[in-house]
Amino acid sequence: MSQTARVMAGLVAGVVVGILLAWQAPALGVQVADLVQPFGKLWLNALQMTVVPLVLALVIVGVNQASDAAQSGRVARRAILTFVVLLTAAAAMTAVLAPMALSLLQPDPAVAAALRGHEAELPAATGGWADALLAIVPSNAVAAAAAGAMLPLVTFALFFGFALTRIEAAQRTQVVGFFKAVSEAMIVIVRWVLWAAPVGIFALVLSLTARAGLGVLQALGIYVLLECALYLLATVLLVAVAVVVGRQRLAHFMAGLAPVQAVAASTQSSLATLPAMLDSAERRLGFPQRVSGLVLPMAVSLFRITSPIQYLATASFIAWALGVDLTAAQLATGVALSVLVSMGSVGLPGQAIFLATNLPVTQAMGLPIAPLPVLMAVDAIPDVLATVGNVTGDMTANALVASRERGDPGTLREG
């Protein structure tokens, strides 16, 4: 049985048992929820213990990978700039639209109460803009790591990562190799913990549904629909960007994009779709091979346009379910961190991607993380649309870079 199937089995079992208890014996359901909840919390703690070293390592390695790629030449630098701009735009769009869309719906008080029982921590009261500004740079990086303060930790990781690009090459290689080994070791731990995912998710979902009943299913349905809608919107907007900014003809671009999207939908893997993207970019769309041959592999390695959408949609959903109004400072924190985390985590496998990347963003925004494993279990449903959105983003980025290359004086026009 695949990992996704095992996770879904734990989710379904927890939902069925929890709802039956809430329906037939509410008092017994609360007792059972209190009994199994510590096991779910124990499993969640095992996942959470990897977050600080993993995020630190991912950001440091990601900065140096981007720096190495940028040194490949002008095309590579333009590609990285394009990735950052598109990721930031996707994150900002979600930060505006997700809370706005969710505000049109009324959260179930029973779900909010169950989530608060699930995780007692609520968003800390934020000070003014001055406090938010001071929180960006840590006075003590070790203390920030110990406190799990993600934003100042990432700030330190950025400074450290960029500083490594300025030291002697041999020393830099050693340090980056160390942090790459740290990130890989943390992923091994995450994989170990995920073997117990059916049990952990069963315990978390049972304790949640035993208290909140059918409202949990409605909330999960809203979450899935929110993600699907945002992925579809991003895909449409990316095509519009390719047409308007990348100077592509709509029918021509769609003719080259459609086969790529079909492969992405069938494989649910951007990496597996790379050959189709290269073929379509050169044969159908006529992009220069020297551009597509560099930009598209870089995009698969560094660029996943739906990642910041997922992170911010997830955090916005948790805030909505708890009845918490996100401040501008929280949303800005989420936007900045989601871009950085997404560029460093493209190569992570399976469910490890969801937990290892959503945890720091949700935590940095001051929100409880207990709902994340439950959301991870249903996140496989919109995954097809996410992959289609990602390859659309890759092709759009390629179109933007190719357009700039052709427009430069002295640049040889190809294709």
Question: Tell me: the pLDDT tens digits for 329-338?
Answer: 889 889 988 9
- Sorting pLDDT into bands at 50, 70 and 90, what band is 412? very low
Report which of 395, 353, 381 is spatially closest to residue 260, judged by C-alpha positions. Answer: 395
CA distance 326 to 20: 34
Indicate whether 125 pLDDT > 50: no
Question: Tell me: the pLDDT tens digits for 28-78?
Answer: 877 888 888 888 888 888 877 887 888 888 888 888 877 776 666 778 888
Indicate whether 6 pLDDT > 70: yes
Question: Tell me: the pLDDT tens digits for 367-410?
Answer: 888 788 888 888 878 888 999 999 999 999 999 998 887 655 44
C-alpha torsion angle, residues 93, 95, 97, 102 (rounded to 10): 160
Indicate whether 127 pLDDT > 70: no
Question: Tell me: the pLDDT tens digits for 152-186?
Answer: 888 888 889 889 988 888 998 999 999 989 988 98
Determine the average pLDDT of the residues in 358-367: 84
Indicate whether 99 pLDDT > 60: yes
Report which of 329, 415, 403, 312 is spatially closest to residue 89, judged by C-alpha positions. Answer: 312
pTM attached to this predicted model? 0.83
Domain residue ranges in the chain: 3-407
- Sorting pLDDT into bands at 50, 70 and 90, what band is 121? very low
CA distance 300 to 304: 7
> What pLDDT was estimated at residue 376?
83
Take residue 150 and report the two structure tokens written for it.
Answer: 């993600």
CA distance 389 to 303: 11
Residue 410: CB atoms within 10 A of its CB come to 4
Indicate whether 413 pLDDT > 50: no
Report which of 69, 74, 67 is spatially closest to residue 291, judged by C-alpha positions. Answer: 74
Least confident of 29-33, 112-116, 143-147, 253-257: 112-116
Domain 3-407: give its CATH architecture.
Answer: Orthogonal Bundle (1.10)
Indicate whether 341 pLDDT > 80: yes
- Sorting pLDDT into bands at 50, 70 and 90, what band is 366? confident
Mean of per-residue pLDDT scores for the chain: 83
